[in-house]
A and B are shown apart, each in its own frame.
Chain A
Amino acid sequence: MDYTLPQIASQVRRDIVRMVTAAASGHPGGSLSATDFLTYLFFKEMNVTPETWRRSGEGLDQFFLSAGHISPVLYSLLARRGYFPVEELATFRRFGTRLQGHPSIERGLPGVNQAAGSLGQGLSVAIGAALAKRMSGDPHTVYVLIGDGESEEGQIWEAAMSAAHYKVDNLLAMTDWNHQQIDGTTEDVAGLGDLYSKWSAFGWTVLEGDGHNFASIEGTFKAAREKLGQGKPVMILWHTEMGHGVDFMAGTCKWHGKNPSVEQCAEAMKQLEETMGDFAL
C-alpha cells in the first residue's frame, strides 16, 4: 500500500517518540523538526533504494547526517523505507544494537555510511564524497543535513569556504533551522544570526523553505536541484520548529535531548495518527 508523505511523517513521529520513551533517552526535539523534509528526501528525492544502497555511494545519491543526535528520525525513516526491519526500532540504544545512540557503521546498519555525533564533521565528509563523485565521473548528488546549533562549530565554516572554493556543485546541504539548542535559543546561546547572509557570503547558492509544508518542501527541492551543476554548492535553510507535531514539545529547547514519560508518550500518541503500524515494544 502506498502512503502519503503526511501519513509517513506521522508514523515517523510516532516512532521517534516511542523509541526515545522506550530507551528512556535520546533526542526527540530535533528529530521531530527534521521529520518532514527528511521524509520527502528519503521517499521522493534521492535516487537510492534499500536494494541499491551501498556505503560507497557509487552510482547513487548519497546522504550524510552530520547532526548525529537526531538518530531517531534517521532510523525510523530507514526502517520505514525498507532498509531494515521496522521491529528493529525497538532495539534503539539497547546493548548490542545496530541502532546506537548516535549513528555508527560498526555493526553494519544499512543506510548509514558514516559515524556522526561529535558535531561539525559531516559537511566536510560530504564535500569529500562529492569531490570523489567528481573524480569518478559519477553524476549523482550528495546530500547532507546539519543543525543550526551545529553551525556554531568552526569546522562548518572551514567546510563552507572549502566547498565554494572547490565549486562543489553536486552537493546539496540542508540546515534544520529550528532556532533551538540544548541550553536555549540559538540567538540567546550563541548569536547565530542570519544564516542566509552567512552562507551567501561564503559563496553558496542559498534557498529557504518551510520544512513542515510538503508543497514548499517539494518546490524547494526542485528549485535546489536546478541550482546544482552551476559552479556553486547549494544550501537549503529549512524553517522548522523543534518538537514539531507534539504540542507540549513544540518550539522549546526542553525536549532537545530528553525522553518523555510513558504518560507523556501516550499523550503524544493521541496527536499523531498511526498510519503504517507501530513497531512492537
Chain B
Amino acid sequence: MKEYIDTGKKDTRSGFGAGLAELGNSNPKVVALTADLKGSLKMDQFAAEHPDRFFEVGIAEANMVGMAAGMAIAGYIPFIGTFANFATARVMDQIRQSVCYSKTNVKIAASHAGITLGEDGATHQTLEDIGIMRMLPEMVVINPCDYNQTKAATLAAAAWNGPVYLRFGRPGVPNFTPADAAFEIGKAIKLNDGRDVSIFATGHLVWEAIQAAKELEAQGISVDLIDIATIKPLDREAVIASARKTGRVVVAEEHLIAGGLGEVIAGVLAASCPTPMRFVAIDDQFGQSGKPAELMAAYGLDARHIVEAALSLR
C-alpha cells in the first residue's frame, strides 16, 4: 500500500480561495460573485486585490447566476460562490437555462457541501447537489478531496470552456495530495494498485478510503483505490478496467445514494461489466446537527464502514 502523508488539516474551500486568488493575478478575465458569503467561500483575497472584478450580490442567488451568465456571454470567466444548497437546488432552473442550455462559461463554487457542514444541521447539509448538477447537459461536476486538489481543480475549471460545478466542504481535512499536481478534468486518479476489491471514492471520503485500504491490506486484501475527483465526465475506462480486474466495487461519497457517484458507476458497470457493488453513502434521509466526525460515523461514511462494505463483498 502506497503511503499518503497528512501534511496538516486544511479546509477544501480554502483551496478554492487560494486558486481564485492565483487566477485573479494570472487571468484578467476571471471575475467573482458571491451571495453574502465572501468570507465563508474564502474569496476575501480576490475581493481585496481585484475590487473591480468582485461583485457582492447579496442574498439573491438566482440573480447572481444570471449576472454571471451575462458576464460570461461578454467573455469573462465568472466564479459564483455560495453554499452548496443555494448553489444548486435553489437555482437549478437558472443554471439549467441561463448557464447550461445557453452554454455560458460560468463556474459554480459550492462550499459547505455534505454532512460535514456539521452543527448547522440538515437545512444546510447538502446531500443532493451532485445528482442535481450531473443531470444537466454541459455541466462538469468536480468534487476534490483536499486543499491542494481543490486549488488545482479551481485553476483547471478556469481553463475549461463551459460550465463547471466545484464542490467543497467546511471543516479542515487531511491535506495529502501533491501541491504541484495539475488537475486533469475527467481523469480518475489511481491511489493504489490492487487486485481484490476496487474502492472508488470522492471528496472527503477519499482520505477515509485510504485509511480503509490500509486496514484491508493489513488483512491481506489488495485494494485498487481510485479517487474520482471528476464525477462528470466520468473516467469510464478507468472505472471499467478496475472493476474487470477486481470483480468487486465499493463506492464512497458524502452524498445521498440517489444521484451520487455510486449510481453513476453502477450505471456504467451495468452496461459494460456488471459487478457486485456496495454503496457507502446516505440512504434517503436528511442529516442533523453534530460534529463532523460524529456525523460521518453515525451516517456510515467513515473508514470503518468502507472496510465493512468491502468485506461484505467477499
* A and B assemble together: yes
Cβ contact within 8 Å between A56 and B67 = no
Complex CA gap A165/B58 in Å reads 10
* Chain B residues, Cβ within 8 Å of A118: 93, 96-97
How close is B87's CB to chain A, nearest CB, in angstroms? 15
Cβ contact within 8 Å between B97 and A131 = no
How close is A108's CB to chain B, nearest CB, in angstroms? 11
Cβ contact within 8 Å between B74 and A124 = no
The 9 closest A-B pairs by CB, nearest first: A128-B70, A124-B66, A132-B74, A128-B67, A158-B60, A158-B63, A129-B70, A125-B70, A155-B62
Within 91-146 of B, Cβ neighbours of A (below 8 Å) are at: 93-94, 96-98, 101-104
Cβ contact within 8 Å between B52 and A161 = no
CB of A166 within 8 Å of the partner chain: yes
Cβ contact within 8 Å between A162 and B60 = yes
Cβ contact within 8 Å between A121 and B71 = no
Within 120-161 of A, Cβ neighbours of B (below 8 Å) are at: 120-133, 135-136, 154-155, 158-159, 161
CB of A117 within 8 Å of the partner chain: yes
Among A55, A116, A132, which residue has the most Cβ atoms of chain B within 10 A? A132
Interface of A with B (CB < 8 Å)? 55-58, 64, 104-106, 113-118, 120-133, 135-136, 154-155, 158-159, 161-162, 165-166
Q: What are 7 A-to-B residue pairs whose CB atoms are below 8 Å?
A: A56-B74, A58-B75, A115-B101, A132-B75, A135-B71, A155-B63, A161-B58
* Chain B residues, Cβ within 8 Å of A162: 57-58, 60, 63, 67
Q: A58-B75, A129-B74, A132-B76 are in contact. Are A155 and B66 (CB under 8 A)?
A: yes
Cβ contact within 8 Å between A127 and B98 = no
CB of B307 within 8 Å of the partner chain: no
Q: For chain A, what secondary structure do more than half of its interface residues adopt (helix, strand, loop), or is it mixed?
A: helix
* Chain A residues, Cβ within 8 Å of B102: 105, 114-115
* Chain A residues, Cβ within 8 Å of B69: 114, 124-125, 128
Cβ contact within 8 Å between B76 and A124 = no
**Pick from B62, B70, B75: contact of A120, CB under 8 Å:** B62
Cβ contact within 8 Å between A131 and B94 = no
Within 25-68 of B, Cβ neighbours of A (below 8 Å) are at: 31, 52-53, 55, 57-58, 60, 62-68
Complex CA gap A127/B55 in Å reads 12
CB of B173 within 8 Å of the partner chain: no
A115-B98, A136-B74 known; 16 other A-B pairs, CB under 8 Å?
A56-B75, A105-B102, A105-B103, A118-B93, A118-B96, A118-B97, A124-B62, A124-B70, A125-B70, A125-B73, A127-B66, A129-B74, A131-B70, A131-B71, A155-B62, A162-B57
Q: A155-B62, A158-B60 are in contact. Are A113 and B73 (CB under 8 A)?
A: yes
Cβ contact within 8 Å between A129 and B52 = no
* Chain A residues, Cβ within 8 Å of B78: 128
Complex CA gap A114/B106 in Å reads 13
Tally chain B residues at the interface, Cβ within 8 Å: 32
Complex CA gap A38/B66 in Å reads 23
**Pick from B66, B73, B74, B101: contact of A159, CB under 8 Å:** B66
Complex CA gap A123/B73 in Å reads 14
Cβ contact within 8 Å between A114 and B98 = yes
Complex CA gap A130/B75 in Å reads 12
* Chain B residues, Cβ within 8 Å of A129: 70-71, 73-74
Cβ contact within 8 Å between A125 and B74 = no
How close is A165's CB to chain B, nearest CB, in angstroms? 7
- When C-beta atoms are compared, the residue in chain B nearest to A166 turns out to be B55
Complex CA gap A127/B53 in Å reads 14
Cβ contact within 8 Å between B97 and A115 = yes
Complex CA gap A56/B69 in Å reads 11
Cβ contact within 8 Å between A155 and B101 = no
Cβ contact within 8 Å between A133 and B63 = no
How close is B129's CB to chain A, nearest CB, in angstroms? 20
How close is A197's CB to chain B, nearest CB, in angstroms? 21
- When C-beta atoms are compared, the residue in chain A nearest to B97 turns out to be A118
**Pick from B71, B93, B103: contact of A128, CB under 8 Å:** B71
Cβ contact within 8 Å between B71 and A132 = yes
* Chain B residues, Cβ within 8 Å of A123: 66
Among B55, B60, B64, which residue has the most Cβ atoms of chain A within 10 A? B60
* Chain A residues, Cβ within 8 Å of B103: 105-106
Complex CA gap A162/B71 in Å reads 15
Cβ contact within 8 Å between A158 and B55 = no
